[in-house]
């Protein structure tokens, strides 16, 4: 984004302020976003006591649409309202498509949306979020010994337990968006004693670009929608053509195996607030000994089955955490009354959730073709197909 556009966003949000520095995060470290760290002088010029603040401008990766921006803004708003002691960023303004600036009034009631006008550039940028800078630096595990790493795991568990206890579980599953339409036909999340004043709609899975046509109220439907979306990609995307032979077996799994699994037939579903990407890169620490002083990247968060956070840790973020940290994390969660794969979640349910996560990851691998040539792509697809076949065999043994 140009400096001119950044300055326009600043003026729309904090009139009379001055941009002092705009430093982009090193390429390759911000994954599916572009991050600018801003140093700004807040308040009109001439203030007797100007405030120098560090802020963040997070620009949406182009493969993602407005839903990712809206979901993260909504989740950060919920944390600010219901879990003010969770060290997460505070949103000041955002844009769904990069062309207009939107801000919110903070009060006791629902968020009030203000459209603050067009940005300077005539080009359409991706959406973005303008927010406070969480304290600390991204966790670099190589900088700490095993005792410090275990302490970080326990501190992270304390934070997760706070939002599990402070944010009510929901009977519906999905990501969030500000509720502008009372008759949208999708479930709403009330945040006041008066349930006729819903604040958020609950729908979709942002990370998989899935939208829901109807409310999702059971774990079985959630799993079915996810695998059917992957099956659609497998059948329609030329990259995955060599693995399309798996389609009949996967369709049979959806129709005949999935409905029989403990994973899909547990007690009445409750969907809990879930970060969905608790990798060390999203945990900020400060001081010696290290303290967890910030959590970032709530872009894929929402209300999901309680096993999903852990499945993502083991599958998408597998190997990110050393055992000392993750064992301390699970142990502390158990002490605080949060179910985990080690304590509270049924062993059969956890095994099946883990298998399902691995299978979903490899049906239509999002990272392919990447930079692979023809031979490399063929080998990668064969590896993914073998994972899917292995998981299907595990499920078939359970079914028998």
Mean of per-residue pLDDT scores for the chain: 88
C-alpha closest to that of 65 among 129, 1, 127, 130: 127
Instruction: Residue count of the chain, please give it.
Output: 400
CA separation for the pair 364, 240 (Å, rounded):
7
Looking at the predicted structure, is the pLDDT value of residue 213 above 90?
no
Residues 175 and 318 both lie in one domain: yes
CA separation for the pair 276, 284 (Å, rounded):
16
Average pLDDT over residues 179-196: 55
Residue 99 belongs to domain spanning: 3-133
Residues 266 and 233 both lie in one domain: yes
Boundary of a domain, candidates 133, 154, 188: 133
Residues 160 and 127 both lie in one domain: no
Residues 75 and 181 both lie in one domain: no
CB atoms within 10 A of CB 183: 5
Percent of the chain with pLDDT over 70: 87
Average pLDDT over residues 6-10: 91
Boundary of a domain, candidates 113, 133, 153: 133
The CA-atom distances, in angstroms, between 46 and each of 4, 31, 51, 205 are: 22, 39, 11, 47
CA separation for the pair 293, 152 (Å, rounded):
10
- Measured between its terminal Cα atoms, the distance across the chain in Å is 56
Residues 92 and 64 both lie in one domain: yes
CB atoms within 10 A of CB 309: 22
Looking at the predicted structure, is the pLDDT value of residue 184 above 70?
no
Q: Looking at residue 47, what is its pLDDT?
A: 58
Q: Kindly report which listed range (140-144, 287-291, 294-298, 396-400) carries the lowest average pLDDT score.
A: 396-400
CA separation for the pair 155, 206 (Å, rounded):
27
Taking phi first (over 0 means left), then psi (-120 to 50 degrees means alpha), and beta for anything else, what does residue 316 get? alpha
CA separation for the pair 191, 200 (Å, rounded):
8
pLDDT tens digit string along 126-143?
899 999 999 999 999 888
Please say whether the beta carbons of 362 and 220 come within 8 A: no
pTM, entire model: 0.91
The CA-atom distances, in angstroms, between 247 and each of 125, 137, 163, 250, 358 are: 38, 44, 39, 5, 16
Higher pLDDT, 180 or 312: 312
Residues 370 and 235 both lie in one domain: yes
Residues 285 and 302 both lie in one domain: yes
Residues 176 and 109 both lie in one domain: no
Higher pLDDT, 102 or 164: 164
Q: How many domains does one find in the chain?
A: 2
Structure tokens at 323: 């055992």
Question: Tokens 């608790």, residue?
Answer: 278
Q: Looking at residue 236, what is its pLDDT?
A: 97
Looking at the predicted structure, is the pLDDT value of residue 183 above 50?
no
Q: Looking at residue 316, what is its pLDDT?
A: 85
CA separation for the pair 206, 296 (Å, rounded):
16
Please say whether the beta carbons of 279 and 251 come within 8 A: no
Q: Looking at residue 224, what is its pLDDT?
A: 97
Residues 316 and 372 both lie in one domain: yes
Q: Looking at residue 45, what is its pLDDT?
A: 55
Please say whether the beta carbons of 332 and 154 come within 8 A: yes
Exposure on the CB side of residue 249, measured as CA atoms within 13 A: 15
CA separation for the pair 225, 227 (Å, rounded):
6
Q: Looking at residue 400, what is its pLDDT?
A: 62
Q: Looking at residue 122, what is its pLDDT?
A: 46
Boundary of a domain, candidates 106, 133, 160: 133
For residue 188, what pLDDT band results from cuts at 50, 70 and 90? low
CA separation for the pair 167, 161 (Å, rounded):
10
Looking at the predicted structure, is the pLDDT value of residue 107 above 70?
no
Q: Looking at residue 289, what is its pLDDT?
A: 94
Residues 184 and 234 both lie in one domain: yes
Contacts of 176 (CB under 8 A, 6+ apart): 70, 71, 74, 75, 78, 189, 200, 201, 202, 301, 302, 303
Looking at the predicted structure, is the pLDDT value of residue 108 above 90?
no
Q: Looking at residue 193, what is its pLDDT?
A: 47
Q: Kindly report which listed range (1-10, 104-113, 236-245, 265-274) carries the lowest average pLDDT score.
A: 104-113
Task: For Cα atoms 221, 225, 231, give the angle at the middle one, nearest 5 degrees.
Answer: 140
Residues 231 and 319 both lie in one domain: yes
pLDDT tens digit string along 147-181?
999 999 999 999 999 999 999 999 889 999 876 55
Q: Looking at residue 191, what is its pLDDT?
A: 57
Higher pLDDT, 14 or 189: 14
pLDDT tens digit string along 22-68?
999 987 777 778 999 999 998 765 556 778 999 999 999 877 788 99
Residues 202 and 254 both lie in one domain: yes
pLDDT tens digit string along 329-387?
999 999 999 999 999 999 999 999 999 999 999 999 999 998 999 999 999 999 999 99
C-alpha closest to that of 23 among 11, 12, 34: 34
Higher pLDDT, 141 or 189: 141
Looking at the predicted structure, is the pLDDT value of residue 284 above 90?
yes
Q: What is the DSSP letter of 365?
A: -
CA separation for the pair 201, 188 (Å, rounded):
4
CATH assignment of the domain containing 360: 3.90.1200.10
CA separation for the pair 189, 110 (Å, rounded):
11
CA separation for the pair 307, 332 (Å, rounded):
16
């Amino acid at each position: 984004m140009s400096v001119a556009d950044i300055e326009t966003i600043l003026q729309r949000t904090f009139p009379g302020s001055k941009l002092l520095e705009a430093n982009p995060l090193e390429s390759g470290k911000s994954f599916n976003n572009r991050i600018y760290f801003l140093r700004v002088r807040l308040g009109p010029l001439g203030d007797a006591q100007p405030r120098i603040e560090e802020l963040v401008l997070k620009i949406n990766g182009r493969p993602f649409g407005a839903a990712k921006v809206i979901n993260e803004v909504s989740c950060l708003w919920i944390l600010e309202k219901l879990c003010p002691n969770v060290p997460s960023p505070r949103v000041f303004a955002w844009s769904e498509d990069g062309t207009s600036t939107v801000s919110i009034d903070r009060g006791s009631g629902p968020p009030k949306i203000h459209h603050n006008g067009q940005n300077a550039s005539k080009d359409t940028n991706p959406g973005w979020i303008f927010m406070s800078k969480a304290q600390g630096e991204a966790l670099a595990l190589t900088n700490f010994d095993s005792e410090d790493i275990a302490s970080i795991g326990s501190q992270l568990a304390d934070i997760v337990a706070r939002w599990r206890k402070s944010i009510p579980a929901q009977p519906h599953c999905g990501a969030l968006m500000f509720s502008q339409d009372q008759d949208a036909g999708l479930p709403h999340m009330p945040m006041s004693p008066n349930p006729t004043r819903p604040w958020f709609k609950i729908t979709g899975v942002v990370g998989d670009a899935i939208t829901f046509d109807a409310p999702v109220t059971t774990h079985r439907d959630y799993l079915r929608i996810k695998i059917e979306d992957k099956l659609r990609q497998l059948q329609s995307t030329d990259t995955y053509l060599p693995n399309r032979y798996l389609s009949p077996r996967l369709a049979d799994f959806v129709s005949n195996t999935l409905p029989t699994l403990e994973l899909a037939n547990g007690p009445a579903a409750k969907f809990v607030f879930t970060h969905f990407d608790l990798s060390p890169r999203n945990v900020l620490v400060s001081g010696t000994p290290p303290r967890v002083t910030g959590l970032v990247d709530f872009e894929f968060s929402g209300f999901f089955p309680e096993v999903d956070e852990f499945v993502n840790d083991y599958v998408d973020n597998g190997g990110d955490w050393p055992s000392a940290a993750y064992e301390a994390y699970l142990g502390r969660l158990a002490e605080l009354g949060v179910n985990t794969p080690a304590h509270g979640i049924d062993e059969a349910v956890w095994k099946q959730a883990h298998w399902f996560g691995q299978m979903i990851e490899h049906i239509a691998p999002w990272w392919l073709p990447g930079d692979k040539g023809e031979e490399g792509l063929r080998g990668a697809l064969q590896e993914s197909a073998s994972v899917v076949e292995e998981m299907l065999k595990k499920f078939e043994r359970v079914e028998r």
